[in-house]
């Protein structure tokens, strides 16, 4: 436990020094706030765009607050995940390439505390960034569109944090066996996309897939309930996260012993 907290503090320090604790939350906040604002002003923007033929009538219903908040999650599904993966793709491979990792494991340090600290720092940064952006989107959707039920919004946020944790764990696992940062980012995002597409195409076979977490979060925000199997998805997602962590520990320990 002492080793873990030491490594965790070291990761936090590194993330602060590389400005990650500043720019990742700010970018999340910007994208979260921009979505409701641009939807709110969309009719005006189109009206002033100018190159419409005379007499064009565009009728876009202004979305309700919950709808807008759910759309923001859709935004985070693409750009948010991209930014998180880009920010943290080097978290393990950079240390391996610079040789720091070999120097660390010269001493009797448990692989679990090392990997666990990396994992916790990924979750801390992505969770905090997401919650800041979500709060911004919530505020604007609430005041520009319509009020959002608090309980449903919090449930949606928790589910989405779990989805981001799953992606963070996948990133850590992928970076345990790949060296190039670009390959790590590509594989992680590709994996997440393939999972989402497959569970959209084959809803019957992948009803419990972790990629349903983000869809379920959107459902919760809009309706307050979900049509999916909540328990099964939660259990499977947490299982996947644990499996990714164990896999990372296993690969790193094998690589260091050789």
Partner 1 sequence: MYLATTNIDWSVLAPIILPLIIIQIILMIIAFVSLYKAEATRGPKWVWALIILFVNILGSVAYFVIGRKDA
Nearer of residues 34 and 124 to partner 1, judged by Cβ: 34
Other CB atoms within 10 A of residue 227 CB: 9
- Give 237's Cβ-side CA count (13 Å radius): 28
Choosing from 1, 2, 48, 107, the residue that interacts with partner 1 (CB under 8 A) is: 48
Residue 78 found at the interface with partner 1 (CB under 8 A) = no
Nearer of residues 35 and 113 to partner 1, judged by Cβ: 35
Choosing from 1, 2, 50, 201, the residue that interacts with partner 1 (CB under 8 A) is: 50
Q: How far is the CB of 146 from partner 1 (least distance, A)?
A: 16
Residue 31 found at the interface with partner 1 (CB under 8 A) = yes
Candidates 64-72, 83-91, 111-119, 219-227; binding stretch for partner 1 (CB under 8 A): 83-91
Candidates 32-40, 166-174, 202-210, 249-257; binding stretch for partner 1 (CB under 8 A): 32-40
Residue 52 found at the interface with partner 1 (CB under 8 A) = no
Of residues 113-152, those binding partner 1 (CB under 8 A): 140, 144
Candidates 23-31, 103-111, 194-202, 205-213; binding stretch for partner 1 (CB under 8 A): 23-31
Residue 29 found at the interface with partner 1 (CB under 8 A) = yes
Q: How many residues bind partner 1 (CB under 8 A)?
A: 23
Residue 87 found at the interface with partner 1 (CB under 8 A) = yes
SS (H, E, C) the chain: CHHHHHHHHHHHHHHHHCCHHHHHHHHHHHHHHHHHHHHHHHHHHHHHHCCCCCCCCCCCCCCCHHHHHHHHHHHHHHHHHHHHHHHHCCCCHHHHHCCHHHHHCCCCCCHHHHHHHHHHHHHHHHHHHHHHHHHHHHHHHHHHCCCCCHHHHHHHHHHHHHHHHHHHHHHHHHHHHCCCHHHHHHHHHHHHHHHHHHHHHCCCCCCCCCCHHHHHHHHHHHHCCCCCCHHHHHHHHHHHHHHHHHHHHHHHHHHHHC
Q: How far is the CB of 49 from partner 1 (least distance, A)?
A: 9
Positions in the binding site for partner 1 (CB under 8 A): 17-20, 22-23, 26-27, 29-31, 33-34, 37, 40, 48, 50, 83, 86-87, 90, 140, 144
């Amino acid at each position: 436990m002492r080793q873990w907290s030491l490594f965790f503090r070291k990761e936090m320090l590194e993330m602060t020094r590389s400005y990650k604790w500043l720019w990742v939350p700010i970018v999340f906040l910007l994208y979260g706030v921009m979505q409701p604002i641009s939807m709110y002003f969309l009719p005006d923007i189109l009206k002033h765009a100018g190159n419409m033929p005379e007499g064009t009538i565009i009728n876009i219903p202004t979305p309700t607050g919950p709808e807008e908040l759910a759309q923001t999650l859709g935004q985070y599904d693409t750009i948010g995940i991209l930014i998180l993966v880009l920010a943290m793709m080097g978290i393990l491979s950079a240390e391996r390439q610079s040789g720091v990792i070999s120097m660390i494991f010269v001493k009797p340090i448990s692989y679990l505390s090392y990997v666990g600290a990396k994992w916790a720092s990924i979750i801390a940064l992505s969770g905090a960034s997401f919650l800041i952006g979500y709060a911004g989107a919530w505020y604007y959707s609430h005041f520009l569109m319509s009020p959002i039920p608090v309980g449903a919004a919090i449930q949606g946020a928790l589910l989405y944090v779990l989805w981001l944790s799953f992606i963070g764990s996948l990133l850590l696992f992928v970076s345990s066996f790949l060296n190039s940062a670009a390959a790590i980012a590509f594989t992680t995002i590709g994996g997440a996309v393939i999972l989402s597409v497959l569970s959209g195409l084959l809803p019957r076979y992948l009803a419990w897939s972790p990629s349903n977490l983000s869809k379920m979060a959107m459902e919760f925000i809009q309706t307050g309930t979900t049509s999916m199997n909540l328990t099964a998805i939660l259990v499977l997602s947490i299982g996947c996260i644990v499996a990714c962590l164990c896999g990372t520990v296993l690969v790193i320990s094998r690589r260091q012993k050789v």
